[in-house]
Amino acid sequence: MQQVPVAATAVSSRPLLLLGIGVRAYREHLLQRIAARHPVVLADNRVCPAWAAPYLHDQLVTDLADAESVAAAVKRFAAQSPLSGVVTYLENHVELAAQLAAQLGLPGSSPAAVAACRDKAQTRQRFTAENVPSALAHAVDDEDAAVQCARGIGYPVVVKPRGMAGSAGVLRADADAEVRRAYRRATRETLPGLDGYAVPGVLVEEYLAGPEISAETVVLGGSKVRIVAVTRKRLGAEPRFVETGHSVDARDPLLTDAAVTEAVTRAVRALGIERGVLHVELRLTERGPVLIEVNARPGGDLIPLLVLRATGIDLAQATAALAAGAVPDLTPNRRQAAAIQFLYPAFSGEVTRLGAPSALLAEPWLERLVWTRRPGDQVLAPPNASISDRLAHWVVTGADAAECDQRLVQVLMQVDARTDAPVHTTSCTR
């Protein structure tokens, strides 16, 4: 039965099912914004942490890796307390959210479309079939096949896991030996929380030169695809593609760039996404915008917070509204910029000091500074670092992207973060 959408202007009385809680430093703002409009029922593998409890209406403890048991638990709950929708902001659970919504007759994109987003090989196949500008790519099953594909594409190439996220295991390779090393890394790369949900396999892709961006996109149903913000991404040194920061400017000229809009719209239609908030990644190359991937969820790394601070558009509440069959408010009411920077250790070892002056923390343009590691932790420095090795992040606001850049540097110059390399000796001491 087709549901008639309603305006998302008031608090919903029927609860919304949220799959997975995530890490507080990166997810609390999303949960807080969703809970402001909807009673939230959390389904997760364990009892919710204390920080999340004030935002929750109820919770279900169930193994999210077991789709059948989750479905049974949710159906029992919904029989007593009807749900308005199913939502997740975690890559791990986007497929399960789509499956549950379909089973319960609730709004959402088809599970097949969401599965095509999760599987990068399927994504590329659909893009090729629909002539969406995308990197040439091949799925491979062993090192020799990876080398043959790389030679066929032409060096340099990018080797990546088929179903990971957050740039985990993504490496540039410029020669056969590098492809072999990259293949081995891609097969064993892990990302906390996503390991048990990732599609296995490895892709070898054409290397795309040019700046990387993401289009924060809202699909309102049918052909209504709207880019509400553009995120400029900062990446660390290759051959890794570690994200070191993001910036959103409400006046970004790419918001009205016809080629970007066309590429994103064609990608969404090729995948069959009918409803939701998407994080669409592209490279701006000499031949125009080229698709990297489409994520069937809001962006990570606090990108929705940047969008909110820069434009006033609330992607968390838009995600919830769409899941509940409502029309989200996408009216921008701010015209400024916001940016985030991630602090990685200067070298590998033990974290010995983390601090910042109180005067810095009082700056009105510093939205937050969050330490994500503690003294005593062991961390890896780039190029071996992963998301888990980040020491801190901070979010700043400004009149435009240039002012945000200046303020990011101001913070960097004042934070005190130290790691001591482990001491190696050739004999035992007492």
Whether residues 140 and 106 share a domain: the answer is no
pLDDT at 133: 96
Whether residues 93 and 152 share a domain: the answer is no
Query: What angle (nearest 5°) sits at the alpha carbon of residue 57, between those of residues 302 and 306?
Result: 15
369, part of any domain: yes
Structure tokens at 170: 């993504």
Whether residues 32 and 103 share a domain: the answer is yes
Structure tokens at 398: 């400004």
Q: In which element (H, E) is residue 234 found?
A: strand 224-235
Q: How far apart are CA 205 and CA 203, in angstroms?
A: 6
Q: Which of 365, 94, 367, 337 is nearest to 229 (CA)?
A: 337
- Domain CATH code at residue 19: 3.40.50.20
pLDDT at 4: 36
243, part of any domain: no
Whether residues 94 and 155 share a domain: the answer is no
Per-residue pLDDT for the chain (430 aa), expressed as one digit of tens each? 233 344 444 456 899 999 999 999 999 999 999 999 999 999 999 999 999 999 999 999 999 999 999 999 999 999 999 999 999 999 999 999 999 999 999 999 999 999 999 998 899 999 999 999 999 999 999 999 999 999 999 999 999 988 665 567 789 999 999 999 999 988 887 655 555 556 778 999 999 999 999 999 999 976 699 999 999 999 988 888 889 999 999 999 999 999 999 999 999 999 999 999 999 999 999 999 999 999 999 999 999 999 999 999 999 999 999 999 999 999 999 999 999 999 999 989 999 999 999 999 999 999 999 999 999 999 999 888 888 999 999 999 999 999 999 999 999 999 999 998 765 544 443 3
- Domain CATH code at residue 192: 3.30.1490.20
Whether residues 101 and 173 share a domain: the answer is no
For 427, the 3-state DSSP assignment is coil
Whether residues 341 and 382 share a domain: the answer is yes
Whether residues 166 and 79 share a domain: the answer is no
Whether residues 161 and 97 share a domain: the answer is no
Whether residues 97 and 23 share a domain: the answer is yes
Instruction: Please identify, among 154, 175, 206, the residue that sits at the C-terminal boundary of a domain.
Output: 206
Residue 54 to residues 32, 47, 57, 127, Cα–Cα distance (Å): 9, 13, 8, 43
Cβ–Cβ < 8 Å for 193, 90: yes
Per-residue pLDDT tens over the stretch 152-177: 999 999 999 886 655 677 899 999 99
- Domain CATH code at residue 419: 3.30.470.20
pLDDT at 167: 65
379, part of any domain: yes
The number of distinct structural domains making up the chain is: 3
Q: Residue 179: which residues within 8 A CB-CB, separation 6 or more?
A: 143, 146, 147, 150, 157, 159, 173, 204
212, part of any domain: no
Instruction: Please identify, among 179, 206, 233, the residue that sits at the C-terminal boundary of a domain.
Output: 206
- Taking each helix axis from N to C end, the angle separating 67-80 and 94-104, rounded to the nearest 10 degrees, works out to 40
Find how far residue 109's CA is from the centre of its chain.
Answer: 18
Cβ–Cβ < 8 Å for 16, 83: yes
95, part of any domain: yes
pLDDT at 190: 62
Q: CA torsion angle for 239, 243, 244, 250 (degrees, to 10)?
A: 130
Cβ–Cβ < 8 Å for 157, 129: no
Q: How far apart are CA 228 and CA 330, in angstroms?
A: 8
Whether residues 106 and 145 share a domain: the answer is no
8-state DSSP, 394 = E
pLDDT at 422: 63
Prediction pTM value:
0.91
Whether residues 20 and 104 share a domain: the answer is yes
Q: Which of 320, 293, 291 is nearest to 304 (CA)?
A: 320
311, part of any domain: no
Instruction: Please identify, among 94, 110, 126, the residue that sits at the C-terminal boundary of a domain.
Output: 110
pLDDT at 132: 96
228, part of any domain: no
Per-residue pLDDT tens over the stretch 281-310: 999 999 999 999 999 999 999 999 999 999
Structure tokens at 33: 């914004």
Residue-range definition of the domain harbouring residue 415: 336-430
**pLDDT above 70 as % of the chain:** 91
Whether residues 52 and 97 share a domain: the answer is yes
pLDDT at 195: 58
pLDDT at 189: 72
pLDDT at 164: 60
165, part of any domain: yes
Count how many residues are written for the chain.
Answer: 430
